[in-house]
Amino acid sequence: MMKAKVTQQGVLIPKQLLGDVDEVEIRKEQNHIVVAPVSSTDPILELGQHPIDDDISDASINHDRYLHR
């Protein structure tokens, strides 16, 4: 366990606790402050990386219709 002094600017979290994380999300949940790593990949950009083989030829045009079946 580690303690840190709260200053006018807030609290400094030592880099050794963050590892190689480039960005974190800070949020308050009830009586806790949560510091969580933010994924460096955008899930939207990952769409279509592993398509499914099927006999549907218009999936890119009518994808909403197929998703909501």
Question: Per-residue pLDDT tens for 2-26?
Answer: 899 999 999 999 999 999 888 999 9
Summarize pLDDT for 24-47 with one digit per residue, the tens.
999 999 999 999 998 777 777 777
Contact at 8 Å (CB) between 24 and 36? yes
Predicted local confidence at residue 69, as pLDDT: 59
Predicted local confidence at residue 43, as pLDDT: 73
Contact at 8 Å (CB) between 38 and 29? no
Residue type for position 18: L
Over the chain, what is the mean pLDDT?
A: 84
H/E stretch holding 67: helix 63-67
Helices (H), the chain: 15-18, 63-67
